[in-house]
Structure 1
């Protein structure tokens, strides 16, 4: 009955707590913020008053006074790629451990949507921005943010914030070299048409260098109209045609696991055996790549370690514990050899 009566009344205020606990408003505030130096008996009396009145601190008001929130903005380019969902999950967990919540901006791979999203995050007074990718022009995004916020680029890089990532160039080179070592000579690269430009260039560059060192010719495939048509050698054809042409690739290095799974599906439709007729390497090690039926050979990014370091870095910037020039952290990748790669088929 007492609880019902209170529910019909106005919510308790900090003044109500102070009055019941026989302390000042500032003392209540110190107890709520866990400021050291409050007498233990006083602290207990305030906490008892909070419980009795079922007082809930006004978080928004407190953050306005402090001129910052406990929100982190996170910019994601393509939520259809499970890699970003997995990364966001880790970021959310580590941010919560620091007392921060996430506010998401899904750019849908559109520059205008991205800029609008960034501006909205800033208007909501986020304390910092984490970029998992960016869809449009990096300079436009930089101008939208200005010098207002700490910025961390996680698994990507735009050159105007802290960076936490793997070495995309070296990783793609290692994945391609794995195929070369298996005897493949016609190795195609399946480009990611929605990946942020700098990381995509690095991955394609690592692939091209590995081929160049082996005296082989690069071949680039990319979606023209997913999930059927691809662009290959300047012409448009079905993905099955590209995989079964007379000079077809015997191996494909995909820019990400999602594209690699697309290739596996197309190979199945074209009656190509994997890895006997076609070897496939992905990038990211998303959860689906580890399913026994897929068992994809891939470049594994240390997602949990990347997320932990990125959150620690941005929280350090926000709190002033990390200062100075932008930092660059390159974490090690791992080539995981699974079922989708094998020796090149006989001519």
Structure 2
């Protein structure tokens, strides 16, 4: 059995003695006292830490290798980022990006097949153009819309659109029978526009109000046919504007109630191509009827073979000039005949 008695030597180890210089006394330190423990702890904390110089040298030796690894990683990240941006950047930037509003451009830079809007002043040409371009006529319209009988469009302008991944230029023209401009001025502006269409005209949208065929409308139809020529009918689509809810929803009833034989013959002469310009106040753009009517118009445009060219316009103008010459000669002949009869009587 172990003896737990503390010997003097062990007691000295636990309570070290410190000799006081110049005296024979020695002071026994009681390390169990809190004050002394705190002093010893402060001495140990004030001593500088031991530095492992061998580990420091190893770190310094490995530093160039570490820097090289970091440089390689940075280059690799930049390479991957460049690859992703080059091949996927356009799609990433375009994702969820609002579609830009088409801008009305000068007529001198037409670089794609055209969709030409023609018709009487106030018939709704500019409104139809905004519908095709999906821009509001109330907020930043591409084609300004007039509330009066005076045409807002004095010079032709166009904006670019895509249909089934093909680019076209929608061209708005001044209104025929405008109260401010004579028909000759308006038709000459349309002719100037057609001459600028080096890629031809894919479709001629003849915009007309949805009502019974009137004498004025008949006169306008004949004037357009004479001006553009009979061959223009191969590229023409009649588009009815200002349709009410019933007319827009029930096309068969609209034909029966509004078309007379003469107008039916005119529609048939252009391959029975006709459509309705939906009223956005009745059928908003997100409405299925609105979208269906515009899709019917797109289908007619796409189905047309070839384009109306400046050569066809020249041919029509030449025929028009020939008819005018014949009419003038006939008038002069009639006048001479009348003058001769007056001389005989006198």
Higher Rg: 2
Q: Which has the higher helix share?
A: 2
Coarse TM-score class (shorter-chain normalised): under 0.3
Highest RCO, 1 vs 2 (Cα 8 Å, sep ≥ 6): 1
Q: Which has the higher strand share?
A: 1
